A and B are shown apart, each in its own frame.
Chain A
Amino acid sequence: MTVSGPVTHLTLAEMRELLGKRAFSAKELTQAHLEAMESQRALNAFTCETADKALAMAEAADARLAKGEARPLDGLPVAIKDLYCTEGVETTAGSNILKGFVPTYESSVTAKLWQAGAVMTGKLNMDEFAMGSANMNSAFGPVANPWQRKGDNRDLVPGGSSGGAAAAVAARMAPASLGTDTGGSIRQPASFCGIVGMKPSYGRCSRWGIVAFASSLDQAGPFTRTVRDSAIVLGVMAGFDPKDSTSVDLPVPDYEAALHKNVKGLTVGVAKEYRMPGVAGEVERLWKRGMTWLEEQGAHIREISLPHSQHALPTYYILAPAEASSNLARYDGVRFGARAAAEDLTGLYEATRGQGFGAEVKRRILIGTYVLSAGYYDAYYNKARRIRSLIARDFARAFEQVDVILTPTAPTAAFAQGEKMDDPVAMYLNDIFTVPASLAGLPAMSVPAGLTDRGLPLGLQIIGKAFDEETVFRVGHALETAAHFTHRPQRISG
């Protein structure tokens, strides 16, 4: 392989190979990405660029590469959603309340990346505390999607909450980035930005050091431009962590090796309940095309029923805010982050939280506090927990018959900044296909599969059995091969 065109357009796997052959140095690769980041600053994807740190890490990687002691991700630039605590680098969760907070510790997942030789290039913009589906709720301002509609130069949203992480990979500012997914925050932006986004099983990656939104749902996962790259990065991120009691002590398989297997003989489930009004016709057509591609490669399509999925969205929007209302209580101005001036204790809480949190965060704290309150608890929180078990049971039954489930990732392609802003519920509908797998703790990946009539990317979602990321990668790889998605966004570096 030789390099033709900008190195930033290579896949992670290609970069890895060429670094190994010393076709270019890690420092050169890092430099190229730092320049790409600079050229695309208008997208507002980064909250913080860590050029000095990146170059130092790249030099260390070069030293190892020169000695033939390369580690799995040596010299490969990775950018990090600002929800991960990074030692010595400001970590804000996209919120004013954490501005100025510099952790003295490194999240378990990012620590594994750096241990594997990856180069940290910066922190990525996001919806405040990961609450949002358009990256419009950030204290750092909105992120623009690198894609634009044909004949329309308005800025589109990149999806959310990991909007910066998706935009950075789509615009070739990084070959891979880390996001987090609570109800679709990796998969939906991956679909909107035409890249691969993987949410592993709940418990597969450690949550230690990741600012919590909804603890029973939050999972770390990678954004990449190919399924292979996703498998490479997740392989490093995954694994048991004794510091996270909900992480699972299971061996991590070789995900990259799983890509060698084809999908012949696999059964792919298609849920009849997912054919619903409000889903764009072209989204539905792409879904059908996805079924055909898999059938052509030897998989069987089977209709399944997930009857409780219709309640997934309201269930999610009770449980996630309930947990968030408690998780966000620690931001009180007492020990870290922003503190507003006040005369007394109540005043300190009110002013710090009133000024520090944005509107969507406040809305969810209020919803969460309400559904946990005496008198409403059974009607909301407890009922939602029961429905969550029913949704999980639906999946468990379906997986007795099928190996994976294929759905659209999002009901529409990316929309313009400012659209859907007046109605929070319309915004919440973005998560309709992604939330069920989150509630059931299942692995799910979005793979870019085609373009809308107006030239915007659309993804398809593959949901797997718990801890069976391998089959998800296998099917994702098959879809990727068939879709042959080589389109590029308009706003791209290099």
Chain B
Amino acid sequence: MTNLIAGSTGPWEAVIGLEVHAQVISRSKLFSGAATGFGAEPNSQVSLVDAAFPGMLPVLNRVCVEQAVRTGLGLKAEINLESVFERKNYFYPDLPAGYQISQYDQPIVGEGSIVIDLADGSSREIGIERLHLEQDAGKSLHDRHPKMTFVDLNRCGVALMEIVSKPDMRSAEEAGAYLTKLRAILRYLGSCDGNMAEGSMRADVNLSVRRPGEPLGTRTETKNVNSIRFVQQAIHYEARRQIEVLESGGTVVQETRLFNGVTGESRSLRSKEEAHDYRYFPDPDLLPLKLDPARIEEIRAGLPELPDEKKSRFIESFRLKPVDAAILVADRERADFFEAVAAGRDAKLASSWVMGDYFAALNKAGSSLAEAPVDAEKLGGLIDLIADKTLSGRMAKEVFEAMWESGKTAAAIVEERGLKQITDTGAIAAIVEEILVKNPAQAEQLKGGNMKIMGWFVGQTMKATQGKANPGTVNQLLKEKLGL
């Protein structure tokens, strides 16, 4: 088993569960009409409800509820027809009411699952424990003043989905694959933009270690892990730390730890004994949330094709390798792009161009599909010229570079540069003849059966035609001329 971690006293296994906070895409907050845009002036998107002024009451945003249902359906999860909002009580200046409205005993979404795709092309199912809706808190800014803390309430009250996995993951790779797939599903559904840099998707890592086959060990929770890379770092760090504690005869303490992205390490925030007593109780300002089964079916019927289905379809109809299909479907826009390029064309050629030169150019430029100079239609045009043998593979690479530079179509560049592949046998035959005459010694070797020299002749011919000769035709002609 590759997931085992070698310790000094034998192998260990990490048991990992993730709690992901995903910001719901909605114009207004979970319980108020204030806007939710990122990057606004501090405290410019705050209603009286968010700031918990006396007498203010929450009103549930139905859009957020539908997003949670949509997400639950995308996670193949059970949708609870009745769920309850509760108050989680604690004091902090960025929590104006002194309580967060969340769901506790009765979440809106129950058990589901996610299939993760691993680097070796294999897949594995990870269980989802639950998904619930809750409010985000505001932001405390401790670095603006030597003695005071500033509070920005723009984020306060924004809807979050807390998506809790089962402790089904065994390695940092699996955790990364889980987050990648979860993010893809959320983006396909349009329920969360998955932007971890802006904090719209954040993860807490629950981790324990054990000897393979033994019962679960004591777990810790590492909070504030804001990228997939950080999650993997946090897992490596925490697994190693726990193993060291256990191997030196200590015991793991159940605690909450805070991850530091700069050092890649975490520190203890509070132990179980210091844990808050949140005094959850049903929010009397809100009635239990009841869902109409007919509406859930409507939402289900309107779901887009999700990554797993798309992957299967790509494998089926385009004969792609599972690894390639998984890469393509990881991002809905990229998958759509591939489909547009592949439509009516050779799928293998399309996939190798999309995933090869095209994605490489995209990554190098750091640009998005929407702003790329070459769109699906233009890339398709290039592939068409390869297919009809106007361009050789080598020429096509050159044309593609020029397309990326200029934004022009492949046909225009071929025209401009006179790059049309020479497939006229007569023209190539004359050139081949000339080369054979100029290089009698090599011609003799070839006749003598030294096939290695064949490549040299093809190269010379290509050089003479500035790469425009069709290499297949050159080969053919050489053989004919020499009677091979």
A interface residues, Cβ below 8 angstroms from B: 84-85, 91, 93, 98, 101, 103-105, 107, 207-212, 214-216, 242-246, 322-323, 325-326, 329-330, 332, 334-336, 345, 349, 369, 372-374, 377, 381
Contacts and interface: CB of A to CB of B under 8 A. Distances in A.
B52 to A, nearest CB: 4
Given A85-B55, A93-B54, A372-B279, A330 B285 contact: no
B277 A85 contact: no
Given A215-B284, A215-B285, A244-B57, A334 B89 contact: no
List 6 A-B pairs, minimum CB-CB distance, nearest first. A329-B98, A216-B284, A372-B279, A215-B284, A209-B55, A330-B52
A323 B277 contact: no
B52 A208 contact: no
A381 B277 CA distance: 15
Given A329-B89, A330-B52, A373 B99 contact: no
Interface string B77-96: 00000000001010101001
B296 interface: no
B284 to A, nearest CB: 4
Interface string B265-298: 0000000000001011100111100000000000
Contacts of A244: 57
Given A330-B52, A330-B54, A335-B52, A245 B98 contact: no
A360 B1 CA distance: 64
Contact of A332 (B53, B55, B91, B149): B91
A246 B58 CA distance: 10
Nearest to B97: A330
6 contacts: A208-B57, A323-B281, A325-B89, A326-B89, A332-B93, A335-B96
Given A103-B55, A372-B281, 19 more contacts: A103-B54, A105-B48, A107-B55, A207-B55, A214-B284, A242-B59, A243-B57, A245-B57, A245-B60, A245-B286, A245-B287, A246-B286, A325-B89, A330-B54, A332-B91, A334-B93, A372-B279, A373-B277, A377-B279
Contacts of A330: 52, 54, 96-98
Contacts of B53: 103, 105, 335-336
A212 B59 CA distance: 16
Contacts of A209: 55-56
Given A245-B287, A329-B99, A211 B277 contact: no
A322 B52 contact: no
Given A326-B87, A329-B98, A330-B97, A85 B54 contact: yes
A286 to B, nearest CB: 35
A88 to B, nearest CB: 14
A326 B287 contact: no
Given A326-B279, A326-B281, A373-B279, A245 B89 contact: no
B362 interface: no
Interface in B214-263: none
A369 B279 contact: yes
Interface in B54-82: 54-60
A207 B54 CA distance: 11
B57 A329 contact: no
A216 B93 CA distance: 26
Contact of B97 (A322, A329, A372): A329
A100 to B, nearest CB: 13
Contacts of B431: none
B32 to A, nearest CB: 10
B151 interface: yes
Contacts of A246: 284-287
B284 A323 contact: yes
Contacts of B58: 245
Interface of B: 48, 51-60, 87, 89, 91, 93, 96-99, 149, 151, 277, 279-281, 284-287
Contacts of A208: 55-57
A372 B287 CA distance: 20
Interface centre among B54, B99, B287 (most CB of A within 10 A): B54
B51 A335 contact: yes
Nearest to B93: A334
Nearest to A344: B147
Contact of B281 (A105, A207, A245, A381): A381
A51 B427 CA distance: 106
Contacts of A210: 55
Interface centre among B48, B99, B279, B280 (most CB of A within 10 A): B279
B274 to A, nearest CB: 14
Nearest to B88: A326
Contacts of B57: 207-208, 243-245
A213 to B, nearest CB: 11
Given A105-B48, A369-B279, A372-B279, A212 B55 contact: yes
B144 to A, nearest CB: 15
B289 to A, nearest CB: 10
B97 to A, nearest CB: 5
Contacts of B48: 104-105
A322 B281 contact: yes
Contacts of B98: 326, 329-330, 332
Contacts of B87: 326
Contacts of A326: 87, 89, 98-99, 279, 281
B275 to A, nearest CB: 10
A367 to B, nearest CB: 13
A241 to B, nearest CB: 9
B91 A329 contact: yes
B67 to A, nearest CB: 19
Contacts of B281: 322-323, 326, 372, 381
B57 to A, nearest CB: 5
Contact of B93 (A207, A211, A345): A345
B424 to A, nearest CB: 78
A53 B52 CA distance: 28
Nearest to B281: A372
A374 B104 CA distance: 14
Contacts of B54: 85, 91, 93, 98, 101, 103, 211-212, 330, 336
Interface centre among A101, A323, A381 (most CB of B within 10 A): A323
A131 to B, nearest CB: 15
Contacts of A335: 51-53, 96
Contacts of B149: 345
Contacts of B55: 84-85, 103, 105, 107, 207-212
